[in-house]
Amino acid sequence: MTLIDEGDPDYPKLEAPYLKLYSLGTPNGQKITVYLELLGLKYHYRNVDILKGTQKEPWFLKLNPNGRIPVLSDVDAEGHRTTLFETGAILQYLGEKYDKERKYYYDLSSPYYWDQVTWLTFQVASHAPYQGQASHFLKFAKEDVPYGKKRYKEETERVFGVYELRLKANNGWLVGDHLNIVDIAAYPWIRKYDFVEIDITKFPELEKWLAKIDAIEGIEKGLNKA
């Protein structure tokens, strides 16, 4: 028996092999829990209280020097550990290693692979940062910054418009012809449209897309994990 100590002061040593997710029920955290649940994988879930600053504690910074959630730890039977942060990297890793039937992931042999890379990069590099800043200025900023509110809400709406065009051109999915890791990445953010004061009725393709994903088994469990 191989016991692994990841330095977590509030969690016992774990017997290899295992998956452990350090996360919280934010849109970025939900991307990963939704995919894990859809894949039916067993994993340990470690809630990280970002309001208390747990993600900035020395033990956590050894896992992710950037001090952000989520972080995935994958330990094999011999005790060798792979630690990943950044949601795009985690989703691609899970797809490559654990989505054996390629239900939600296109590998390099697929003609959709580079579309997947392109749109996943768009989600993590353009969409999430804009909507995250919109959330900050609209709901959490300690002072009223009208320019910040206006700029980031407008940029988020612009990104929603990009998705709207893509869904219309691609038969209702962001990549390929069924639910994919790109949809999984974008969905937890887009469903929070009310939080950033966006009228989703302006985006009928996104409305239909949200309803389709809402109805998929495993989605709700992944959203409510934290």
* Whole-number Å distance between alpha carbons of 108 and 82: 21
Report yes or no: 65 and 86 within 8 Å, Cβ to Cβ: no
Residues 100, 161, single domain; the answer is no
Query: Region 140-162: what's the mean pLDDT?
Result: 98
Please tell me whether residues 217 and 118 are part of one structural domain: yes
User: Which one of 40, 71, 104 terminates a domain?
Assistant: 104
Question: Which of 104, 138, 168 is the endpoint of a domain?
Answer: 104
CA 209, CA 113: separation in Å to the nearest integer?
Answer: 21
For residue 220, how many other CB atoms are within 10 A of its CB? 13
Same domain, 209 and 122: yes
Q: How far apart are CA 218 and CA 216, in angstroms?
A: 6
pTM of the entire predicted model:
0.97
CATH number at residue 30: 3.40.30.10
CATH of the domain at 165: 1.20.1050.10
pLDDT band at 20 (very low <50, low <70, confident <90, very high): very high
Does residue 85 sit in the same domain as residue 29? yes
Per residue in 32-56, is it b (16+ CB within 10 Å) or e — as a string?
Answer: bbbbbbbbeeebeebbbebeeebbe
Is the same domain home to 118 and 218? yes
Rounded average pLDDT over 168-191: 99
Tell me the per-residue pLDDT of 36-79, one tens digit each, with 9 for 90 and over.
Answer: 999 999 999 999 999 999 999 999 999 999 999 999 999 999 99
184-to-58, 98, 128 alpha-carbon distances in Å: 31, 16, 13
Distance between alpha carbon 6 and the CA centroid of its chain, in Å? 23
Q: What share of the chain is helix, strand, coil (3-state, %, to 5)?
A: 50, 10, 40
Terminus-to-terminus CA distance in the chain, angstroms?
A: 29
Q: What is the pLDDT of residues 81-137, one digit of tens each?
A: 999 999 999 999 999 999 999 999 999 999 999 999 999 999 999 999 999 999 999
Check whether residue 80 and residue 35 sit in a common domain.
yes
| Structural domain for 202, as ranges | 113-222
Q: What pLDDT band is residue 1 in, cutting at 50, 70 and 90?
A: confident
Number of domains comprising the chain:
2
